[in-house]
Structure 1
Amino acid sequence: MLCELVRYIDDPRGLGLAHIPCARACELGFYKSAPGDQLCAKCPLHSHSESRGAQVCRCDSSYYRAAQDPPSAACTRPPSTPVNLISSVNGTSVTLEWGPPLDKGGRADIMYNVVCRHCPWDLGQCETCSNGIRFVPQQMSLVQGGLTVTNLMAHTNYSFWVEAVNGVSDLSLEPRRFAVANITTNQAAPSQVMMIRQESTGQNSVTLLWQEPDQPNGIILEYEIKYYEKDKEMQSYSTLKSKGTSATVSGLKPATRYIFQVRARTSAGCGRFSQIVEVETGKPVALRYDTMTIVWICLTLITGLVTLLVVLICKKRHCGYSKAFQDSDEEKMHYQNGQVKFPESKFYVDPHTYEDPCQAVHEFTREIEASRIKIEKIIGSGESGEVCYGRLKLPGKREIPVAIKALKAGYTEKQRRDFLSEASIMAQFDHPNVIHLEGVVTRSKLVMIVTEYMENGSLDSFLRKHDGQFNIIQLVGILRGIGAGMRYLADLGYVHRDLAARNILVNSNLVCKVSDFGLSRILEDDPDAAYTTTGGKIPIRWTAPEAITYRKFSSASDVWSYGIVMWEVLAYGERPYWNMTNRDVINSVEEGYRLPAPMGCPTALHQLMLDCWQKDRSERPRFSQIVSILDKLIRNPENLKCTATVNRFTQTPFDRGIFDFTRCGTVEDWLESIRLGRYRENFAMAGYSSLGMVMRMGIEDVRSLGIAPMGHQKKILSSIQLMRSQLLNTNGRRRDL
């Protein structure tokens, strides 16, 4: 309502005094942006007026109004944290995806920023990522909830912090709120060699220099130089290997233009070839000889002819002939074409480093026509399809038995690539203790991998079937064969990651061969696997602690798995850690628990197992050392006569009660707890009426019970050993109390 106050003012037009009305001041909770007769407006949401007659409403605590917002706009606040942050690691790249914040702060101008931190393995302070990392599409002011980060370092911990911001985020004094994703990058090939220059050029040679890749992603094992005559790459090209960052390419044609490219190789595979470098060799120089030089050349030729005639005459008469003067095959190999050539070390190449995995299949494997294979029966089934027995007949060769893995129908292109990648790996191996690949079938509707046939199947089931039927030398021979195969793979730079008795195959001559090179796939149906941070699964009972915690696989983690295989062999296929859960296994191993010696296991072999299970991976033996130790034991079998005893410090921690036999009051209760209640009468008839008497039993006492299955005897003896250990732990704890 307007008040009737009279205000006198001068009228410039001389009309005298004017009688005008004036407006009432706005009440609390209302405002008027400018003086006048307009109505007062109610303060916008999350704002208030501090006095009557306010021209603007101030924002409530923790709420803000951006500079471009009009006074009539509601006050807003920064958004909450983005939700459902998901990371997906692919080599040295990671894809981050997230959902919008649940509380947008009342604004629609939501954008996202990503902060990258590099965290060292020694748990030191995380540092801001280097400038070489690439964010696609961008790092700051993202509109969509996702991006890809590339050019990360291999085997490195990173922490990515994602925040949501809006128009008032910079006005807030509260700490920023982030969603955090911690990841570890995987193995990757080195980056591209960038800088190449020619140092010198001759008529028949070119010397090149280059720099190490910006991101080697590991130790550079060697460089590969690819060269060919210009415009003739499709016809032929040559390669040369170099350990350093320089090489001299010889045997070239004079006055010819050549193209050179260089790439680096680590244990993860080869990087991309560099940009081409074009070099022209020198022109030939006409030789000019004086008269004296020509005379000497003629004399030399005549002398050579006379010598040759003498040698031929002596050879015909068998005079002075010695095999020592013949060139050996090795010498011929090393001095071909007038150039010295040294045997090259062979290294495993990861097929996943190829831009097109099919290229690796064609490069390493042999294609077999489907008509050459006769499938006779199905002998098993795997994750990717069925396993069959059949026969292979190649031209000019006899028919041989083979095992055939057939990819299941309805496969995707990715499943096909993953399936064939195992063949690309297997084809690079040639060792009597590693499964041999015959070839692949890719040009028919049924995609197949063809390997040698192993009559006795997997080692774990073979041992369970023949429980107690081998002497200790035979068991050590089995372990020696597996160790030799793993030594070969380790020397090639290959890490198996799934070494277990189930992945060792046995042929009719009891030769054991390492198989199953496909752990890169997710083990969906493996009950012995547990999820990792990257979404895959790994076999917990066979895997080293650093591989479980940090996914840090190496030859040393394979050595840990080999120790578990040793235990499986000596225990005739017993399940490692028995009925403990995966979580209990992880916790027990972390606290220092190690598997006790199986029944009848020699001390030397159990000590080798314990060496393989050293927590510090640098303290574990190498496969070459393991094979050497086993060879010595085979040559000196007297060292295998001493049987290992149970060590209380290798037993399961008592206070978790995983094998808490102290709760058993009678022999019957104890037998029921280990699921062998059927032998109650055997113990009763032998006079074992109390657990105290049972704990005094030895190997011969257990054997005298008349229990036929050797596995049940071992289970009873292991249980007795665990009861003794628990009693020691309990007594020790009571003394401490």
Structure 2
Amino acid sequence: MIHSISRNKVRPACKPGFFKAYAGNTKCTDCPQHSSSHDQAATICHCDKGFYRAIKDSSAMPCTRPPSAPRNLVSLINDTALFLLWMPPSDTGGRKDITYNILCQRCEERDGDSGVAQCEPCEPDLRFIPRPLGLTGTSVAILDFATHANYTFHVESANGVSGLGVSPRSLANVTVNTNQAGPALVGVVKKDWASENSIALSWSEVEQLPSDKVDYEVKYFEKEQEQLSYSSTRTRNPSVVVRGLRPSTVYVFHVRVRTAAGYTAYSPNFEFATAAEDPDIADQGQVLVVVTAAVGGFSLLVILTLFLLITGRCQGYIKARMKSEEKRRTRFRSGHVPFSGMKSYVDPDTYEDPTQAVEEFAKEIEPSYICIERVIGAGEFGEVCSGRLRIPGRVDIAVAIKTLKGGYIEQQRRDFLREASIMGQFDNPNIIRLEGVVTRTRPVMIVVEYMENGSLDSFLRTRDGQFTVLQLVGMLRGIVVGMTFLSEIGYIHRDLAARNILVDENLVCKVSDFGMTRVLEDDSEAAYTATGGKIPIRWTAPEAIAYGKFSTSSDVWSYAIVMWEVMSYGERPYWEMSNQDVILSIEEGYRLPAPMGCPVTLHQLMLHCWQKESNLRPRFNNVLSFLDKLIINPSHLLALVNDGQSYPDSPEDMPDYPLFISIGDWLDSIKMSQYKNNFLAAGYTTLDSISTMSIEDIRRIGICLIGHQRRIISSIQSLRLQLHHIQQSGFQV
């Protein structure tokens, strides 16, 4: 009995400096860091002065404090955006939940009497990308700022205990002057005419424009959307026809001028509506033009009609002649030029009625010939299914069927079928083949050949490391064959990415998804300028991002990104970097490092395609010739970037890589800062020591995720090049 009592005796109360969170026969524990207890039997340790616990923090957690201010806040400004960049605070307060807030003031000239600047909150239509509050990254882009203005931006560091104390806010400040040598605002914007889907605008200038004017930018959006989604277009003249609008809809327009120095401020908002959706009601301005042309230009119309009949391009003007011309036109569907100086393709957007382009280039299929078997995905306009095409007298073939979902409007139907009118003009073994369309019954369908292995990026991710380098080069060759064909007939793809490459059962890669394609002008140097819409930042050339200037050269840039995707087995380009970080990094000269196991020759080809000057990039036929030489002589594929043995002949030939100062900076740049302690604990304390690491070394220090291993090894390869460059210059690391 005595033994039992001694074994279960009650433990003494906790002494000062210790606490017990819960009553019971448990041990007392030391107070967490930055906290203390001064009484006996404490159930909680109170935080020291200046330290706090968040509501969700347990009593066993250390007390923490608000972070210090962000470091090295700088601003950059170009003709499209203002960028703020900073480094994390030197003191995080002992927490990891660091976020940033952007506060903005617009300050006018100083008052002559008081000498104090007159400041007020920034205008509400100033846009922050991704957002002004709760940022987890260390950069932000600011759009729609005014010219000739002074902005003061305060960047605040915050964490889970910010606001709990009385300490001042942790702010870093920068003042930006947006004095750009732009002209004054444009004057009144007026509507010249409107149709169901278009509005013609013109405007005057307040004063004489400077000689360095580049063009005008017209920004527009549906009034009811409150500018949540907007589009823009550019024009060199003080007038524009904005197309692709919805009938009976009010749109808000405002205009600004772009000069060599940048943009002016926008004009005031002007609201105009499109016409009602009634084919019998024409806009008065258009009727006046048609009547005038009919009365005063009848002879010209006759001559034009005869010319169009001779060239076979009258389908948009004389519909009655279409059937009689149909057989003759089909001879040119293979893409050959029918007459000297005439393009071998037709842009469906040039048709007065775009549905005529579908009738011209896509074969109508009897719906009973199509057997839908299962749904395999979802597209922008509806479901994507697999099935069989059973045309009498032909062998059954596997097909993929894109369907247009019910409840569509006519503009959606046209947009859906536009891709078919483009695909129908292509005849190349490395471009997805159009079998036909169903337009006369519902659902409306586009039928293409079926590709058993689906999209290239998904296909590679599920087969990591299963192919030889030569097999991967063969896939790349198939893609460049298709792109060479497109470039030779004057097409630009604008959305070339591994997700838009399809793979059949024989590993043949075919270019697909022509929803963003545009046709080039006759001039071989011409480029299409985007008029709104989404741009795939990670795959898009810098000139296309900055100025909307798409060309075959911008497709070459995208192709090199696809090369990187293939050699990395479908890894995401630039990993978890935000789009704005990607844009800034590319502008600063950063290029993707070689994937693990990538031959030196292929990475050098990528770098060649990623040259900033578009005219210095190779053409697709040059890339095709280069890959053919590698396939014929595969010994050139043996030297891998991983070996660290192949460098350019001189430092001048080196690509520009960011210069890292410490291990922490290096890991921060590839979003791998969580592994800093792993490297330091294993004795890797200098950049030079890291440059010698192998994949086995990476595993040995405790980095287990394959994706993280790949990213670190790829970055180490570029680090080797950087260190080699420094040593070549005579500096010590």
Kept after mapping to 2: 8 A contact 1:377/1:388: yes
Change (3 A) 1:656 1:518: farther
Q: Residue 42 of structure 1 corresponds to which residue in structure 2?
A: none
Determine which of 216, 224, 242 is the counterpart of 2:311: 224
Work out whether residues 491 and 517 of structure 2, in 8 Å CA contact, stay in contact via their aligned partners in 1.
no
| 8 Å Cα contact 2:453/2:503 also seen in 1 | yes
1:660 shift after superposition: 2.7
Determine the C-alpha separation between the residues in 2 that align with 1:618 and 1:444. 47
Whether 2:348 is the aligned partner of 1:351: answer: yes
Aligned equivalents of 1:399, 1:95: Cα separation in 2: 50
Determine whether 1:631 maps to 2:632. no
Question: Aligned partners of 1:359 and 1:209: how far apart in 2?
Answer: 19
1:653 matched to 2:654: no
2:428 pairs, out of 407, 431, 434, with 431
Task: In structure 1, give the amino acid aligned to 2:639.
Answer: C
- Give me the whole-angstrom Cα distance separating, in 2, the residues matched to 1:342 and 1:421: 25
- C-alpha contact 2:492 2:517 (8 A) present in aligned 1: no
Contact 2:473 2:631 in 1 (8 A): yes
For 2:551, the equivalent position in structure 1 comes to 554
Give per-residue Cα distances to partners, 1:72-115, cap 9 Å, x unaligned. xxxxxxxx99899999999xx97559xxxxxxxxxxxxxx8556
Cα contact 2:530–2:550 (8 A) shared by 1: no
Q: How does 1:303-318 map to 2 (within 5 A)?
A: none
CA displacement 1:471-518 (0-9 Å, x = unmatched): 111111111110000001111111110000000000000000000000
TM-superposed deviation, 1:716: 3.4
| Structure 2 counterparts to residues 489-638 of structure 1, below 5 A | 489-519=486-516, 534-638=531-635
Q: CA deviation at 1:134?
A: 8.5
| Cα contact 1:660–1:726 (8 A) shared by 2 | no
Q: Distance in 2 between matches of 1:439 and 1:690?
A: 61
> Structure 1's 616 and 195: CA in aligned 2 closer, same or farther, altered over 3 A?
farther
- Contact 1:467–1:710 (CA under 8 A) maintained in structure 2: no
CA contact (8 A) 2:664 2:673 kept: no
Secondary structure of the equivalent of 2:311? strand
C-alpha deviation, 1:538, in angstroms: 0.5
Q: CA deviation at 1:160?
A: 11
Q: Structure 1 counterpart of 2:694, which letter?
A: G
Q: 1:431 to 1:659 in 2, by over 3 A?
A: farther
SS at match of 2:392: coil
Alignment equivalent of 2:374, drawn from 356, 374, 377: 377
Q: 1:696 to 1:455 in 2, by over 3 A?
A: same
Contact 2:348 2:422 in 1 (8 A): yes
**Contact 2:373 2:387 (C-alpha < 8 Å) held by counterparts:** yes
Aligned mate of 1:717, from 713, 718, 726: 713
C-alpha separation in 2, matches of 1:124 and 1:609:
33
Deviation at 1:565, TM superposition (A): 0.7
Query: How much does 1:634 deviate?
Result: 0.7
In structure 2, what is the equivalent of residue 471 of structure 1? 468
In the alignment, the residues of structure 1 paired with residue 361 and residue 552 of structure 2 have an alpha-carbon distance, to the nearest angstrom, of 23
Matched residue type, 1:515: S
- What does the per-residue CA deviation read over 1:229-250, in whole Å, with 9 as the maximum and x for residues that have no partner? x999588469999xxxxxxxxx
Whether the 8 Å contact between 1:563 and 1:609 is mirrored in structure 2 is yes
Query: How far, CA to CA, are the matches of 2:359 and 2:727 in structure 1?
Result: 65
Report the counterpart of residue 697 of structure 1 in structure 2: 693
**Residue deviations 1:412-454 (CA, integer Å, cap 9, x gap):** 1111110010111111111100000111111222111111000
Q: 1:416 to 1:643 in 2, by over 3 A?
A: same
| Distance 1:472-1:235 versus aligned 2 partners, 3 A rule | closer
Contact 2:591 2:610 in 1 (8 A): yes
Identity percentage of aligned residues: 52
Relative to structure 1, is the Cα distance of residues 240 and 584 closer, same or farther in structure 2, using a 3 angstrom cutoff? Answer: same
One-letter code aligned to 1:630: L
Contact 2:201 2:239 (C-alpha < 8 Å) held by counterparts = no
The structure 2 residue matched to 1:445, chosen from 442, 446, 454, is: 442
CA contact 2:663–2:685 (8 Å) conserved in 1: no
Do the aligned residues in 2 keep the contact of 1:406 with 1:449 (CA within 8 Å)? yes
TM-score (norm 2): 0.52
Aligned positions of 1:84-163 closer than 5 A: 95-96=200-201, 113=204
State the one-letter code of the partner of 2:497: A
Amino acid across the alignment from 1:563: A
Contact 1:596 / 1:650 at 8 angstroms: preserved in 2? no
AA of the residue aligned to 1:448: M
Structure-1 residue corresponding to 2:405: 408
Contact 1:348/1:494 (8 A) holds in 2: no
Question: Structure 1's 508 and 483: CA in aligned 2 closer, same or farther, altered over 3 A?
Answer: same
CA distance in 2, matches of 1:453, 1:588: 39
* Rounded Cα–Cα distance in structure 1 between residues aligned with 2:314 and 2:358: 24
Q: Deviations over 1:625-664 (max 9, x none)?
A: 1111111111111111222358996566358999834679
Counterpart residue type for residue 485 of structure 2: Y
In 2 relative to 1, CA 691–465 (structure 1 residues): closer, same or farther, beyond 3 Å?
farther
How far apart are the structure 2 equivalents of 1:388 and 1:88? 42
Relative to 1, partners in 2 of residues 1:498 and 1:131: Cα closer, same or farther, differing over 3 Å?
closer
Give the Cα–Cα distance (whole angstroms) in 1 for the partners of residues 216 and 463 of structure 2: 55
Q: Distance in 2 between matches of 1:584 and 1:636?
A: 39
Q: Which residue identity does 2:665 align to in structure 1? A: D
Structure 2 CA distance for partners of 1:600 and 1:120, relative to 1, 3 Å: farther
> In 2, Cα distance between the equivalents of 1:408 and 1:733?
62
Paired AA for residue 713 in structure 2:
L
Corresponding letter in the other structure for 1:451: V
User: Shift of the alpha carbon at 1:549?
Assistant: 1.4
* Amino acid paired to 1:551: G
Distance 1:617 1:657, change over 3 A: farther
Any stretches of 5+ residues in structure 2 without a counterpart?
A: 1-184, 218-234, 243-249, 256-261, 270-292, 330-334, 519-528
Tell me the residue number matched to 1:392. Answer: 389
The answer as to 2:458 corresponding to 1:461 is yes
Q: Which amino acid aligns with 1:395?
A: P
Deviations 1:126-155, CA, capped at 9 Å, x for gaps: 9xx99997999xxxxxxx999999xxxxxx
> SS of the residue aligned with 1:537?
coil
Cα deviation, residue 673, structure 1: 2.5
CA contact (8 A) 2:667 2:673 kept: no
Aligned to 2:365: 368
SS of 1:424's equivalent?
helix
Matches of 1:658 and 1:418, distance apart in 2: 51
Q: TM-score, normalised by structure 1?
A: 0.52
Structure 1 position 706, deviation (Å): 11
Matching residue of 2:674: 673
SS at the partner of 1:466? coil
Deviation at 1:348, TM superposition (A): 2.5
CA distance in 1, matches of 2:585, 2:322: 59
- After superposition, the Cα gap between the structure-2 partners of 1:122 and 1:612, relative to the gap in structure 1 and judged at 3 Å, is farther
The code of the aligned residue for 1:459 comes to L
Q: Distance in 1 between matches of 2:199 and 2:491?
A: 24
The alignment status of 1:481 with 2:482, answered yes or no, reads no
Give the length in aligned residue pairs.
Answer: 463
